[in-house]
């Protein structure tokens, strides 16, 4: 612990969900470069913990086994159904909500008490521009990412005086395996909305995550940071 009561960077533990690929893998690599001890969690792949974020007991066990975490990056997510709203099913909605919303809630509920006890913590939830604009034929994804934004704002306010900061990132299209599963016509449409006329890279997003999980951010919580090549509308 440092003299001001917060643990030093080299002693900090971070949990990154969805850590096998895409934004999660890039974030994990970037945080390790900053000297954090990073624990990656995903359903499969080359990660430290294999677990489903919708399994609250498995998530809590992973965090407890780590001795608690100081940094949480919620990157696990699914696109959900790529089709008009009227063609979606209740089961598709339930799965998308379970992963994108309830999975984020599960990791936060398991991580926050220890962060508050230690008087320091950083949580970054990966939302999406879809949560602000609403992408056509991605109703479930858009709705769940809007929920992540509201969850971040609410929890950020709850914890504002504790030393635990909760912020979200709203990327536009990023070159990740998850977006490779998006229908080509949908992907073309949402890419065309980006003024820079290109998709972002996971490494560009990881730089923003690195700042939001550091001591350099100190007067921002419950905020949403766009990384959208200029697409942001509010």
Tens digits of residue pLDDT in 86-122: 999 999 999 999 999 999 999 999 999 999 999 999 9
In a domain, 142, yes or no: yes
pTM: 0.92
Asked if residues 72 and 15 have their Cβ atoms less than 8 Å apart, the reply is yes
Q: pLDDT-derived band of residue 191, with 50, 70 and 90 as boundaries? A: confident
In a domain, 2, yes or no: no
User: 116: burial class by Cβ within 10 Å (0-12, 13-18, 19+)?
Assistant: middle
Q: Rounded CA gap, 44 and 72, in Å?
A: 19
* pLDDT for position 193: 83
Average the pLDDT over 58-79 and give the result.
Answer: 97
In a domain, 54, yes or no: yes
In a domain, 1, yes or no: no
pLDDT at 4 over 60: no
In a domain, 160, yes or no: yes
Dump pLDDT digits (tens) for 24-45.
999 999 999 999 999 999 999 9
- The residues carrying an active-site annotation are 141
| % of the chain at pLDDT higher than 70 | 94
Q: Which helix (H) or strand (E) holds 190?
A: helix 184-192
Asked if residues 124 and 222 have their Cβ atoms less than 8 Å apart, the reply is no
Residue 223 belongs to a domain with what CATH number?
A: 3.40.50.720
In a domain, 37, yes or no: yes
Domain assignment of residue 216, given as a range? 9-227
Domain count, the chain: 1
Q: Rounded CA gap, 34 and 11, in Å?
A: 11
In a domain, 60, yes or no: yes
Of the candidates 55, 53, 100, the one whose C-alpha atom is nearest the C-alpha of residue 79 is 100
Q: What is the mean pLDDT of the chain?
A: 92
Q: How far is CA 89 from CA 59, 84, 147, 175, in A?
A: 27, 11, 19, 28
Dump pLDDT digits (tens) for 77-87.
999 999 999 99
In a domain, 16, yes or no: yes
């Amino acid at each position: 612990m440092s003299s001001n009561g917060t643990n030093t960077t080299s002693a900090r533990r971070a949990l990154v969900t969805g850590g096998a690929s895409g934004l999660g893998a890039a974030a994990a690599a970037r945080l390790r470069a900053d000297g954090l001890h990073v624990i990656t969690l995903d359903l499969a792949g080359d990660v430290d913990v294999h677990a489903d974020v919708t399994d609250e007991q498995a998530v809590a066990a992973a965090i407890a086994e780590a001795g608690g975490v100081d940094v949480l990056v919620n990157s696990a997510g699914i696109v959900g159904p790529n089709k008009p709203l009227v063609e979606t099913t209740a089961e598709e909605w339930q799965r998308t909500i379970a992963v994108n919303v309830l999975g984020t809630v599960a990791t936060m509920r398991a991580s926050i008490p220890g962060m508050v006890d230690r008087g320091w913590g950083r949580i970054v939830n990966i939302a999406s521009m879809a949560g602000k604009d609403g992408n056509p034929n991605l109703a479930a994804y858009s709705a769940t990412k809007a929920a992540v934004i509201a969850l971040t704002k609410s929890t950020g306010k709850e914890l504002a005086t504790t030393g635990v900061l909760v912020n979200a990132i709203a990327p536009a299209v990023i070159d990740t395996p998850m977006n490779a599963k998006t229908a080509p016509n949908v992907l073309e449409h949402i890419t065309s909305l980006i003024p820079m006329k290109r998709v972002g890279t996971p490494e560009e997003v990881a730089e923003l995550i690195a700042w939001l999980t550091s001591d350099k951010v100190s007067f921002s919580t419950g905020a949403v940071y766009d990384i959208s090549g200029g697409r942001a509308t509010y």
